Amino acid sequence: GAGVSQSPSNKVTEKGKDVELRCDPISGHTALYWYRQSLGQGLEFLIYFQGNSAPDKSGLPSDRFSAERTGGSVSTLTIQRTQQEDSAVYLCASSLDPHLYFGPGTRLTVT
């Protein structure tokens, strides 16, 4: 069956522009996670959704970051006024149980 998909796979943007990253979870998975992975670093937790609500937003680095999930399915992570330190791979994962299924990630480069 289909796994978690993310789009775009690569995004290059200029500093100050807004970007939207999309995640399509595995059908039926109620939980959805966003992580950020910088070069040489582990995964940094950003936010997770249970259904359409986000019980824990504590990982969002600043108020430039926001995320939403609609219909208990697709999620978008929006970064406003991007900065160079936002450059990283943004990973999405979905889960029905404690097993996280990750997508391939979106590589964001801010120039």
Partner 1 sequence: TQLLEQSPQFLSIQEGENLTVYCNSSSVFSSLQWYRQEPGEGPVLLVTVVTGGEVKKLKRLTFQFGDARKDSSLHITAAQPGDTGLYLCAGARSDSWGKFQFGAGTQVVVTP
- Residues lying near partner 1 in the complex (CB under 8 A) are found at 4, 31, 33, 35, 40-45, 48, 50, 55-56, 59, 91, 93, 98-105
- CA–CA separation, 104 vs 85, rounded Å? 21
Cα-Cα-Cα-Cα dihedral sign, residues 80, 84, 61, 91: positive
Measured from the CB of residue 54, what is the shortest distance to partner 1 in angstroms?
A: 10
For residue 48, the minimal CB distance to partner 1 (Å) is: 5
Based on CB atoms, which residue is closest to partner 1, 48 or 65? 48
Minimum gap (Å) between residue 104 Cβ and partner 1? 6
User: Which lies closer to partner 1 via its Cβ, residue 82 or residue 94?
Assistant: 94
Nearer residue to partner 1 within complex by CB, 41 or 83: 41
| CB nearer partner 1, residue 41 or residue 62 | 41
How far, in whole angstroms, is CA 14 from its chain's centroid? 19
Left if phi > 0, otherwise alpha if psi is -120 to 50, otherwise beta: which for 51? left
For residues 11 and 20, is the Cβ–Cβ distance under 8 A? no
Residue 110 pairs with which residues in a beta bridge? 13
